[in-house]
Structure 1
């Protein structure tokens, strides 16, 4: 009898210990820990979730492609449950999230926070489609994209014939409109290497990521007053994982997902963009270029043609562009 009671007591103790184990959420990013998102925002999300859940949720962070290398694999990792949520660079999985590439168009995104909140609004309204199989934790528009070149440019005409790294069909159209040669399928982490080998003459990159991807090492000329779209990133969670959580843990996630997390993402990227700009200003080897009023007018006309062509491609494009640019 005593042996039976001891066995039952031991079983109960271990059961309680098992019940007390926090639920682990695995976060994946193909980017290094040093980015503003991975170094600041994700740890802030981790702390918030663990606090709100009373320690019942634990976030494990896997940076630099530890769970799966490369930007193209991130959505698959979440789909397959290898990662519970991930930083997903949407242009690397074209066609999966429809309508979100409206933010790649020129002049739609003014800054990271503005564009990120707009993205969230369009997901909620149904204008951006394809996220229903996930739980959308947050959205980030890394932008606006700017022109960075190895050689000096005094006007947009100087871009003719330049091999410019782009991401996605819209950025390709932008480069072609300036007479440049778009070069796609180069991950952001390999831009500097390709610039160094002179396989590229420049790149379209948002200001916040110039140092993250070592763009400043190979490009010394940066056009600061021509906004050329943004790069869409979604932070998506495996829906089955979310549905399997307790009501209390779901409540913790519901508190941070959407506006809170999106604001944190956009705010921190704006901070980083300003830090980068200030750092470039303080470096005598770097040159910040402002195009003339005449050049801007010429560029805006070329970009309007890109916008018009994109909106004519489908009724969805026309509708989402109207929604994205509504005041």
Structure 2
């Protein structure tokens, strides 16, 4: 964390400062660090929605300032702990071993939209997963997940057996476990590097949410979409905040944020944005020249369900070892995201 000391000192005057130029004549400006491309929905819609909710809840006394490129994706947790920015988004799978309980929402087999899954995730986190204290050192603002992750490839994939032997960019966490179980060679690069990894031929494809076809321009470098109903996994994300930044806000503002923004309200809104991004990307895929969409056959779905069962059992065991009631948390998620 020491390598952020200089950055911390440079930003100290900007983060959580009285701002004379901020919109609505805000009294406090929270600095957001984000690693996604400028046009990705994380920056184009999620953080703006968060800001809108914060400004509304605080009558314009608090606003935000979005900064891109302060640190790579895996470093965001340390960046916020150091106070180099007030808020950030983290993808739990980028930090192997640091987060275990977050793998529960990543498991294949759930149904439901990203909105429904994000709400269920927050509730399971609030009731069970937070007991593991894996986010110690920061304040958790939201827990959320994208829609079902699918396979995007340079060459067309028509069956689950075609995946074996492919070089696939996979995230950490359950996404990596699934890739390995399917016989793919995993290539781990952060999401912002996906386009160039595929364009260079270093990978044959990527497993990501459909939203990424637009957000990371996959229609250009991975024109073929192979869809597994329910998805291969769901990614786990959190919005986090520096504890000191939160505590330095006046009590009435902290109360307003806790009651009207943080937790389930913003988690739900982020899920809605993930869902809308999926739909936009599906339409884009239909319109893009050379792009195809293939839905897994019933036989392939059954084969994947069998593969998934072992991954699910292993993750529940891992989460249980943290002291969390993994079975109860998994049952809660499954119940809220059941087909019925």
In structure 2, the partner of 1:203 is 206
> Residue 214 of structure 2: SS of its match in structure 1?
coil
In structure 2, the partner of 1:253 is 257
In structure 2, the partner of 1:91 is 93
Checking the alignment, whether the CA contact within 8 Å between 2:93 and 2:99 is kept in structure 1 is no
Task: State the number of aligned residues.
Answer: 305
In structure 2, the partner of 1:325 is 334
Cα–Cα, structure 1 residues 138 and 50, in superposed 2: closer, same or farther, change >3 Å? same
Residues 188-230 of structure 1, C-alpha deviations (whole Å, 9 max, x = no match)? 1111211122111111010112221122211121112341111
Structure 1 gap segments, 5+ residues each:
1-16
- For 2:154 and 2:37, how far apart are their aligned partners in 1? 25
Q: 2:196 aligns with which of 193, 217, 231?
A: 193
In structure 2, the partner of 1:306 is 311
Checking the alignment, whether the CA contact within 8 Å between 1:311 and 1:318 is kept in structure 2 is yes
Output the aligned Cα RMSD. Answer: 2.1
Deviation at 1:93, TM superposition (A): 2.3
Cα–Cα, structure 1 residues 153 and 44, in superposed 2: closer, same or farther, change >3 Å? closer
Q: 2:224 aligns with which of 210, 214, 221?
A: 221
Cα–Cα, structure 1 residues 231 and 195, in superposed 2: closer, same or farther, change >3 Å? same
Structure 2 gap segments, 5+ residues each:
1-19
Cα–Cα, structure 1 residues 26 and 168, in superposed 2: closer, same or farther, change >3 Å? same
In structure 1, the partner of 2:237 is 233
Cα–Cα, structure 1 residues 45 and 142, in superposed 2: closer, same or farther, change >3 Å? same
Cα–Cα, structure 1 residues 256 and 146, in superposed 2: closer, same or farther, change >3 Å? same
- For 2:268 and 2:317, how far apart are their aligned partners in 1? 32
In structure 1, the partner of 2:115 is 113
Deviation at 1:312, TM superposition (A): 3.5
Cα–Cα, structure 1 residues 308 and 48, in superposed 2: closer, same or farther, change >3 Å? closer
- For 1:309 and 1:90, how far apart are their aligned partners in 2? 18
In structure 2, the partner of 1:156 is 160
Checking the alignment, whether the CA contact within 8 Å between 2:166 and 2:204 is kept in structure 1 is yes
Cα–Cα, structure 1 residues 95 and 179, in superposed 2: closer, same or farther, change >3 Å? closer
Deviation at 1:287, TM superposition (A): 0.5
Tell which structure's C-alpha radius of gyration is larger.
1
* Normalised TM-score (structure 2): 0.83
- For 1:239 and 1:132, how far apart are their aligned partners in 2? 10
Relative to structure 2, which stretch is displaced further, 25-34 or 301-310?
A: 301-310
